[in-house]
A and B are shown apart, each in its own frame.
Chain A
Amino acid sequence: MAQHRKRPWTFYVLATFFALFVLFLYGPMLAIYILSFQGPTGGLTFPMNGVSLHWFQALFEQQRTGDFSGSFSRSILLAFLVMICTVTFSVMAGLAFRRRFFGASAIFYMAVASLVMPGLFLSLGIGLIFRVIDMPTNWFSSALGAQLTWSLPFGLLIMFAVLSRFDRSYEEAARDLGATNRQTLQYVVLPILFPGLIAVALFGFTLSYDEFPRTLLTVGPGNTLPLEIYAMTTTVTSPALYALGTVTTVVSFAAIILSLGSIAIIQWRRGGRFRK
Chain B
Amino acid sequence: MSESIIEESILSRPTYGTLKIVPGLAHYFLADASGAECVIRVVQELPRDMMEKVHILYVPTPGEAALITSLYAVGAKRFEHFPTIEEAVAKLGDWLSDAKMGTQLYLAGTEGLVGQGVAKGEECGLDHTAVQCEHRGSLARRVQCVHCKTMIEDVTTQPVKCPSCELLLFVRDHYSRRLAAFQGVCINAEDPTEEIEIKEVFK
| Same complex origin of A and B | no
Interface residues of A (CB under 8 A from B): none
